[in-house]
Each structure stands twice: as C-alpha cells, then as structure tokens.
Amino acid sequence: MERQNHAWTSGRDGMLISGGNIVSAEAAWDHVTMANRELAFKAGDVIKVLDASNKDWWWGQIDDEEGWFPASFVRLWVNQEDGVEEGTSEVQNGHLDPTSDCLCIGRTLQNRDQMRANVINEIMSTERHYIKHLKDICEGYLKQCRKRRDMFSDEQLKVIFGNIEDIYRFQMGFVRDLEKQYNNEEPHLSEIGPCFLEHQDGFWIYSEYCNNHLDACMELSKLMKDGRYQHFFEACRLLQQMIDIAIDGFLLTPVQKICKYPLQLAELLKYTAQDHSDYRYVAAALAVMRNVTQQINERKRRLENIDKIAQWQASVLDWEGDDILDRSSELIYTGEMQWIYQPYGRNQQRVFFLFDHQLVLCKKVKISFYVITVMCIVCICIYIYVCSLMLPSMAVCFHRITAK
C-alpha cells in the first residue's frame, strides 16, 4: 500500500474529514504489527491522522513514528479544537468589529452549544456501540461456549467471562434512561447528568469484572495454545458478524469503558455553561465516576498485592508460623538492618519486609546445586500489634534504611 500525497476526505461515524487538516483519534484497540509500514499502538494512545483517503487504512503518526493502521481500530476525537473562543479570536484578527459585542457573545454561545452537542452525541454513540459489543460477547461467545461442554467447564467460563452478563443487563437499563434524557432535535439541551447519579451504585459491578480480568487473560492464553480453541473462537466471531478483533480484545472493552466515563464527563462539563440545567448534575456525576474508577483501581491493586504476597511467601524456605495473609494485605517497605545481640554486640545482617500489622525478618542463605548458585531466604516472623514492635527478649534491633 503506497501513500498518496493529496488532500483527502473520508466519511466515518457520520463525520467528514476534509481540507487536509491534521485531526486526532484515540485508539480503541491494541494494534500489534510486524510490518515496517504499519503503525503499532495500544488502546488509549492518541494518533494524529494524516491521511484518510483509504476508507479502511489510514496513515497516522505517534511521536516520531508514522505508518498505516486500520481505521476501525480508532475513534475520532469529538472536538478537534476548542471552538468556544473562535468568536474572540476572529475579533482579535480583525474579522469582526470589536464593538459588535452581541455578535461576538452570540457566536461564542453558539459554538459552546455545538461543542456540547458534539460531546452528547459522542456519548450516546459510544454507549450504543458498547451495548452491541456486550451483546456480541454474551450471544456470540458465551452462549456458544455453553453449548460445548466438551470444551468448557462452568468454572472456566466463569473465569473467562466473569460477570459480563450482569454488566450487559445493567448497561441496557442505563442506556434506556440515557435515551429518555437525550434531546434528538437539540442535543445540547439534553440532561444526562442525573442518569449517572441514579445508576451510580450499579457501576460497582465493574469491580468484580476488572479484578477478574487478569485471570481471564491467563485462562484464554492457555486455551489458545490448542488450535481447536483458536478455530472455535474465530468461528464464533464470524457467525456473530463481529469486527476482526480477537476475543481478548472484546473482553478488554468493559475495563476500558469504566475508565472512560470520567474523561467523557470532564469533556461534557467543559462545554456546559454554569447556568445550564444539567451543569450541577454533570459536575456531581463526574465526581461520582472518578470515585468509582479510583476505588475499582484500588481494589484491583490490593488483589494483585495479595497474589504477589502469596507467591513471595511460597518462595521462602522453611516458613514457620501463620501465613502473611492472615494478618496483612500490603507490603509497605523493605530494606536491610543489623541485628546486635547482647551482651557480646555481635551483628548479623538481615533483610526486613514491613507489612501492614507485621514485620518479617529474613536471612539470606547460599545454597549450591552442582555449579549453580542461588540465593534463598529463611525468615523469622515478628508481629506488630497497635504499632508496637515485639522483639525476642535477648535481642535489640537496629536498622539502617536507604531511600531509593
């Protein structure tokens, strides 16, 4: 495919790109490529679209890299430039009479209304598109998997798809309410803020899905080593007439979606006048959705920490006493310290791991297997209760910590 150097136009999602201007798009999916002429990117990356003369493949740029990429993998930004100040800039450039205050203000308000309408239309479009993705996952993949008991157990399906059906049901109700609030004739007058507030508790179901997503990816990775599963999932995609994205790409969509709500609401608030009837509701919805995403991310982080702690303890030789996870769920700090034994003053080097509610002291032990030398760890547990450090009666602990 050779790039043509000419002005270009391309219709996509009802939008017209023309005039040779550079527009921005956001990657909706990962694009992994080994071809020199193709542009690789990850979901969420911002791409400068330089050429869209081909409806299927566009030419774009990320930083200093340029290349072709599938047009279906990206979404154009709803507002390519801030037009709210357009009227003011025209006055400054001499295109309007500076004394025409009414004309200037009128154009500014008109531009703001148009920008808000663009954001509203984008939100509605992405919600409808998202519902289709969820339907495709539930009917195109999950429903077909349940028919193949010879290939999938109930436990496997729970790991792979999580609570995707609950999310689908919730989103259908949410979109129904959005449609009721949507003003098709004058989108800028739509009041969608209350919908987010009314459904704020329902968004917490995403927490379970996001926490499970890593396990889903690992399970899929194991299954995909078998060609039967590769062919099965591809047949499901073709039967449902889904876009050319692998199943793991579809399963990533809910994780991406919950993280996009604060961005969309922030954009909507930016173009909502303070005297608009929806302003305070959008502001409240933005605060709510930011809290939801932050809490979901925090829960996910804690679960990942728990898994790492369990793996770390399993690697320790001759572990004695209760499991770390019986009292703790987070590693706070790690470093080296010197044990000084009384009354002889003999020191020993130790490595400490400070968790919430307990401190673990470790001794490095060198073990040789033939010509291979590995470093292992033997540990002694010392527990902290109400910030009190309980030490053996015959020892005094001194430690030296170097900040990294």
The model's pLDDT over 142-201, given as tens digits with 9 standing for 90+, comes to: 999 999 999 999 999 999 999 999 999 999 999 999 999 999 999 999 999 999 999 999
CB 80 within 8 A of CB 23: yes
CA distances from 94 to 19, 45, 111, 337, 359 (A): 23, 38, 19, 71, 71
Would you state the pLDDT for residue 143? 96
> Which segments of the chain belong to CATH 1.20.900.10?
116-312
The whole-number mean pLDDT for each consecutive block of 10 residues of the chain, a chain of 404 residues, reads 43 44 76 74 85 84 89 73 42 44 50 87 92 95 95 95 96 96 92 95 93 89 93 95 89 89 90 93 95 83 74 75 77 77 71 80 64 51 38 35 34
CATH architecture of 116-312: Up-down Bundle (1.20)
Under 8 Å between Cβ of 340 and 398? yes
Residue 194 is predicted with a pLDDT of 96
How many angstroms separate the CA atoms of 375 and 43, rounded?
39
3-state secondary structure at position 180:
helix
Structure confidence at residue 53 (pLDDT): 82
> Do the Cβ atoms of 197 and 288 come closer than 8 Å?
yes
The pTM of this model reads 0.60
Residue (of 302, 208, 203, 182) closest to 262 by Cα position: 203
CB contact at 8 A, 288 and 265: no
With residue 396 as reference, give the H or E element that holds it: strand 395-399
- The 3 state secondary structure assigned to 254-310 is HHHHHHHHHHHHHHHHHCCCCCCCCHHHHHHHHHHHHHHHHHHHHHHHHHHHHHHHH
Q: Give residue for tokens 């679209």.
A: 49
Cα–Cα distances in angstroms (integers) from residue 386 to residues 25, 328, 357, 358, in the given order: 52, 13, 8, 10
DSSP state for residue 38 in the 8-state scheme: B
DSSP conformation class of 222: H
How open is the CA angle 399-403-404, to the nearest 5 degrees? 135
Task: Take residue 31 and report the two structure tokens written for it.
Answer: 């694009």
Beta carbons of 41 and 62 less than 8 angstroms apart: yes
Is residue 55 within 8 Å of residue 71, measured between CB atoms? yes
How far apart, in Å, do the first and last CA atoms of the chain sit? 50
| Cα(220)–Cα(242) distance, integer angstroms | 19
| Residues with Cβ within 8 Å of residue 339, at least 6 apart in sequence | 347, 348, 349, 350, 361, 395, 397, 398
Residues 6+ apart with CB under 8 A from 267: 78, 79, 119
Domain 10-76 of CATH type 3.30.70.2750: no
pLDDT of residue 135: 96
Indicate where the chain has its CATH 2.30.30.40 domain(s).
10-76
**354-403: pLDDT as tens digits:** 887 788 877 776 655 554 444 555 555 544 332 333 333 333 333 333 33
| Torsional sign, CA 235, 236, 240, 245 | negative
Distance of CA 8 to the CA centre of its chain: 33
